[in-house]
A and B are shown apart, each in its own frame.
Chain A
Amino acid sequence: MSVLVNKKSKILVQGITGAQASFHIQRALKYGTNIVAGVAPNKNETSYLGLPLFGTVKEAKEKTGANASIIFVPANYAKSAILEAIQAQLELVVVITSGIPVRDMMEIKHELLNSSTVLIGPNTPGIITPDEAYMGIFPDNIHISGNIGIVSRSSTLTYEVVLEINKIGFGESTVVGLGDDFIIGTSFVEIIKKFNSDKKTKAIVLIGGIGGNYEMEAADFYAKLTKKKPTIALILDDPTPLSDNKGLAPEIICRGIISAADKKRILQEAGMIVVDNINALKSELLKL
């Protein structure tokens, strides 16, 4: 078992003809990912990279039975591509695109309220279930199949964690990158819920980001879970005071300031094991 993505997932690629998309999709195909078609409006070709090419998500879904889509469409056009995927009622949409305007994400997020689509990202490395499939831009040669579920707000730090825990004999059930942007489609809560009921996952690793409200939601949710799998939260210390970080001003104004120290305390109170460096994370995993 795994969460969100597996061998059976039938995946579309929106914006497949771009250079980055082509590069990463070829790697994903080689990995064994069941990518069934590309979507590229205004193209005359009927196939690309050996995959059938359709003009709309709706048509591609009807013809291929796809249930998921990965989006590489440039930021200027990402909103309509994402809304198209949501309106086609795909179960899972992974948005790799970075730099999507805040206002566009506000509209998308409100559209999601009336939909059952799970939107991962934007600005995410994606999701990988080792040895089965991946939707994303992961370095695929670093993952090993195993029983640790990883959910993260930080792309590159996730790679570092995977490399380090694999050195000591662990592997991953699924790795989910939530995305580094301020507004994200899916937060920790939904993924913890899925890992918690996934048979293969024995323990969960949560990797926090800078700024803290998504972690706070996770703490609330985890505290209330009756049967919970051991969860280790990796929270790095802030390099400079958060109040000096101008990018965080909106969050601080709306939700108050949550420093790394606050986050650690609150996640701990919720019942998670909290660490502030990767070596400590490894020791805690070995203790489980």
Chain B
Amino acid sequence: MNIHEYQAKKIFKQFGINVPSGLVAYTPTEAKLAAETVSEFGPWVVKAQIQAGSRDVGKFSDKRAGRKGGIRLSKTLDEVFDNADEMLENLLVTNQTGAKGRLVSRVYIEEYIKTIRKFYLGLVVDWVSASTFLLVAPVSDKDDDDIVKLAIESPETILKINLGLQKEIKTEQLAQIVSFMDIQIELSELKTFLNRMLKLFYTYDATLLEINPIGITKSGKIWALDAKIVFDENALYRHPEVRKLSDDSDIEERELIAAKFGFQYKELESGLGIIVNGDGLALNTINQAKDMGINTACFLNLKGGVDRDKISASIKLIMTNPRVDGIFINILGGFSRCNLIADGIITVADDLGLNIPLVARFEGTNKDEATDILKKSGLPLAIAEDTTHGLQLLKEAIAEDL
């Protein structure tokens, strides 16, 4: 789970990490007032709050915002007002938002901190070693390099230190950072800063903590100029206060509904809506469909613990996607009991009246029972023997429909 920059900075502050003073604003007038509060003379930085990176070099879809991005230095209070006015209720498109962009519903007004050096600092969990990695990287002036892009294009520019389960930074690791970045800085200052980051990282079950960038002032003080925290969804039960920070407005409606049921939902193009109960099966079904000349509009992974209500919900959800012209339910045993799935299909078919072809394939636990239930229902549902057969049936049914 992601949160907004201003929310992350509030948490940073609680852990004693230096952040510029700032306030969130929902209207241009609020923005101007906020600016007056955070700094008497400015300058200020107006920052669009969306849960995606590369805001600085992003572009707004509405022309009134001009060609500038989602992070703007403002020298006067009027500039703060104008910049907030241009950003609010506008869609910001960055290389992480997709073509449609994200709606800016609030801006963050911050005092501007003059720094002499900036660099990227991050903490992330490495899966293979099950350890925390500390990441240090230079920041380019363009600022559109997120760490993923950097890791793909020039991994050698990122310093990675394996911290294991270390909760405090070691002296030799500090030396390593200082020499890698070639910076002049009090080691004790850097040590305190990093230890506070680590404390936050562990306290909140974060899987990724990024400061892009940190800034060092002439006097040697370290500031977190940006803040990003990704929380482990599975550990949110330990942090109910964090769950409350989730901002639904950023997420596409269907994805949001899916997430509420614990499903994974992904839209591709137009064609089949595929309901499966596993990642690998999803991939295999999509690839096999492609080989047979069938496109996929979306897939929905039910994951484990499937019941009647969830299967109904998933079909209903898929049917709200106008780009779906047929539904393939491909379920392979395990935790999902096939008879419950069959029940779910009948419930929803009765409720909504299916207007597009639906083919179901079951395998595994209680398969025969499920097949019986569907056959006896008398509804126009086809039952397939295997994945290939199911796709074949749908291809024919869709062709007839058109």
Interface residues of A (CB under 8 A from B): 20, 27, 75-76, 98-110, 125, 137-139, 141-142, 152-160, 163-164, 180, 182-183, 187, 207, 209-210, 213-214, 217, 236-240, 243, 249-257, 276-278
Q: Is the CB of B165 within 8 A of A159?
A: no
Q: Check if B333 is an interface residue, CB within 8 A of chain A.
A: yes
A103 / chain B contacts, CB cutoff of 8 Å: 202, 205, 232, 235
Q: Is the CB of A253 within 8 A of B280?
A: no
Given known pairs A103-B205, A155-B334, A257-B152, the reply for A236 and B128 (CB within 8 Å) is no
B329: min CB distance to chain A, Å: 13
B-side interface mostly: mixed
Q: Is the CB of B124 within 8 A of A155?
A: no
15 A-B pairs in the complex with CB atoms less than 8 angstroms apart: A101-B232, A102-B234, A102-B235, A107-B165, A139-B332, A156-B280, A159-B281, A187-B128, A209-B280, A236-B284, A239-B283, A250-B208, A252-B152, A277-B288, A277-B291
B386 / chain A contacts, CB cutoff of 8 Å: 163-164
> Please, how many angstroms separate the alpha-carbon atoms of A238 and B152 in the complex?
17
Interface residues of B (CB under 8 A from A): 122, 124-128, 130-133, 135, 147-149, 151-152, 155, 158, 160, 164-165, 202, 205, 207-208, 232, 234-235, 237-238, 266, 268, 276-284, 286-288, 291, 296, 303-305, 332-335, 363-365, 367, 386-387
B131 / chain A contacts, CB cutoff of 8 Å: 106, 110
Interface centre among A101, A110, A256, A277 (most CB of B within 10 A): A101
> Please, how many angstroms separate the alpha-carbon atoms of A256 and B205 in the complex?
23
Q: CB < 8 Å: which of B135, B164, B304 contacts A98? A: B304
A-side interface mostly: helix
B207 / chain A contacts, CB cutoff of 8 Å: 102, 250
Q: Is the CB of B205 within 8 A of A101?
A: yes
B186: min CB distance to chain A, Å: 28
Which single residue of chain A is at the shortest CB-CB distance from B132?
A106
A124: min CB distance to chain B, Å: 10
Given known pairs A103-B205, A253-B122, the reply for A139 and B333 (CB within 8 Å) is yes
Q: Is the CB of B147 within 8 A of A110?
A: no
Given known pairs A102-B125, A142-B333, A276-B287, the reply for A156 and B130 (CB within 8 Å) is no
Q: Is the CB of A253 within 8 A of B279?
A: no
> Please, how many angstroms separate the alpha-carbon atoms of A207 and B283 in the complex?
12
Given known pairs A142-B364, A157-B280, the reply for A106 and B165 (CB within 8 Å) is yes
B278 / chain A contacts, CB cutoff of 8 Å: 154-157, 180
Q: Is the CB of B152 within 8 A of A160?
A: no
Q: Is the CB of A239 within 8 A of B268?
A: yes
Which single residue of chain B is at the shortest CB-CB distance from A23?
B337
A278 / chain B contacts, CB cutoff of 8 Å: 284, 288
